[in-house]
Amino acid sequence: MTTDDRLARQVAIRLSEKDMERLDALADSIPIASHNTIARAALRIGLAALEADPSQLFSPKKAKARKR
């Protein structure tokens, strides 16, 4: 992300409590980045992943088995 991005559009989304907790935790761990900056980066990264493999939208990752 560059500082010269022209922010001309706004999107409003609803988040689950779990997603908001994850965003809060990430913002706490990266104090120089705002929630907004992190959310925009996550959107860009997620869009790139979906562009590369749109099937990810329909196949959520399975929980990993716990090691014994």
pLDDT in tens, 11-57: 999 999 999 999 999 999 999 999 999 999 999 999 999 999 999 88
Per-residue pLDDT band for 6 (boundaries 50, 70, 90) equals confident
* Cα gap 48→45, rounded to integer Å: 5
This prediction has a pTM of: 0.71
* Cα gap 65→16, rounded to integer Å: 24
**In contact, 42 and 2? CB cutoff 8 Å:** no
Q: How far apart are the first and last CA of the chain?
A: 41
Which stretches of 1-68 are DSSP H helices?
A: 17-29, 35-52
Output the pLDDT for position 4. 62
Output the pLDDT for position 16. 95
